[in-house]
Structures are given as C-alpha cells and as structure tokens.
Amino acid sequence: MEHRLVDASDGVSLHVGVHGSGPDVLVLSGGPGCVHYLADGAIAPRGVRSWYPEPRGVGRSGGGPHDLARAVADLEDVRRTVGVERWLVLGHSWGSDLAVRYALDAPSSVAGVIGVAGHGLHKDRTWSAVYEHGKATETPIDIPWNEDVWRALQASFLDWIHESGLLRALADSTVPMTFIAAGNDIRPSWPLQQLAALVPDATFAVVEGVPHDFWSTHPDVWRATVSESCAAMLSA
C-alpha cells in the first residue's frame, strides 16, 4: 500500500492510501467517523487502482468535525490532486450513502457508484427498531473512530435527507449505481431496494449468507463481490 498526503482546498492535510493498478476506484469505508478499515490490499478489488482517503479529523488526516458538503469537497480535492478525471466510487455502509451524495453533487467526477450494505437515505423508526433488536447478535469489530466527526456528519446527513429536492435529484441522476445488500445483515435492505428503483440506471443484488461486515468475516467473498461489481460497471 502506497501512502500520500493531499492538501485540501482549506489547507487541511488528508491521508490517502493507494493500491494496485488499472482503472481508478475510490473506496469509502463506513462510520461515519471511522478510520479507513477497507485499506487493505488483501481485500482490494482486483484489476483496478484503489484509492483510500482517510476522512478529515480521523486517523492520519487533519481537521475535525465537518458536514457532508465538506466531505464531498475533500473527495474532489483528492481526485484533482492525484490527477484522476473520473472514478468509480465503492462504498461500504455509511460509505455507500456518501457515495450517493458524491454522485449527486459531482456527477461529472463519478463514473458509477457501488454501494455495499448501505444504510440508505432515510430515518425510519421501524428500520431502527429492527436494527436495535439485532445488535446483540452482530459480531463486534473494533474499529477506531472519532465521535465528534460522527456526530457532525450524522447531523448533516439528517439535514440532507430532509431536503425537498432530494428524491427529484435521485430520479434525475445519470450516474449508474449498483446497490448490494448482505443477506445476513441486521439492517433491513428495503432502503437500498428503493434507491435502486428510483435511480434510472441502478440495480439491486443480495450476497447471501454474509453479515454486514463481510469484508472482515468473509474477505474472499468481499473481494470477489467488489471485483465482479467493478468489472461489470467498467465494462458497461
């Protein structure tokens, strides 16, 4: 894994890992506010050059709490600095939701979105009740995180999903999107199915027999899934 430092437009230093060679894929991990737990060459998609930006205020990146607009601006600063014209965006969990926001804000920069085990663009009591009921059954994975960054991005996410033009923007999006649910995830998959039905060029699939964090529990399945998804989108 190669490591780079990128200066954001406001001067904050962002840490970025890069692995492999081929078409460019931006990889976003979850949280929000978690260190980049997907930055591991052993689970990187095959046949591509993967970029792993650590969110500002987290891990080796500078800065602190910020909103979604700033998160997208940081991704654009990374893209321009490393010299990528357009890239696929692969996101897991919260990273899937951020990938959708990025595609809506900067469609000319995003060749496609692959969202795996995302939350979806909602704040639903029934969904939350199912999630809370199942939390005790989920295998805990210790991932360092920044609570202040988490709180700021959660608040910004709620503001975003309440915007009156969001559904219209999704329905008008020209960016291809693929949403993938983990079959044994405690998080209900209906929000991802709704996104796939709303975005004109979108699909939905399920990887059976794996939990939410199958990048950790089933790394071979994860790598095969993201490799096949990237290849399919790049060849479309």
Q: Cα separation of 55 and 154, whole Å?
A: 14
Local structure of 220: helix, strand or coil: helix
Q: What is the pLDDT of residue 236?
A: 83
Q: For tokens 């998080």, name the residue.
A: 187
Do β-strands 87-92 and 110-116 pair in parallel, antiparallel, or remain unpaired?
A: parallel
Q: What is the pLDDT of residue 139?
A: 85
pLDDT digits (tens, 9 = 90+) for 106-152: 999 999 999 999 999 999 999 999 999 999 899 889 999 999 999 99
The fold adopted by the segment(s) 2-235 is Rossmann fold (3.40.50)
Distance of CA 61 to the CA centre of its chain: 18
Q: What is the pLDDT of residue 140?
A: 86
End-to-end CA distance of the chain: 28
Sorted by where each begins, the domain ranges of the chain are 2-235
Contacts of 224 (CB under 8 A, 6+ apart): none
Hey, how many other C-beta atoms are within 10 angstroms of the C-beta on 71?
22
Q: For tokens 């060679």, name the residue.
A: 21
- Contact call for residues 93 and 30 (beta carbons, < 8 A): yes
Amino acid at 119: H
DSSP state of 66: -
pTM of the model: 0.97
Verify cis geometry, omega within 30 degrees of 0, for the bond prior to 107.
Answer: no
What does the DSSP assignment read for 183-214? TT-SS-SHHHHHHHHHSTTEEEEEETT--TTH
Which residues are registered as beta bridge partners of 91?
Answer: 28, 115
Phi, psi of 234 (to 5 degrees): -70, -25
Spans of the chain, pLDDT less than 50: none
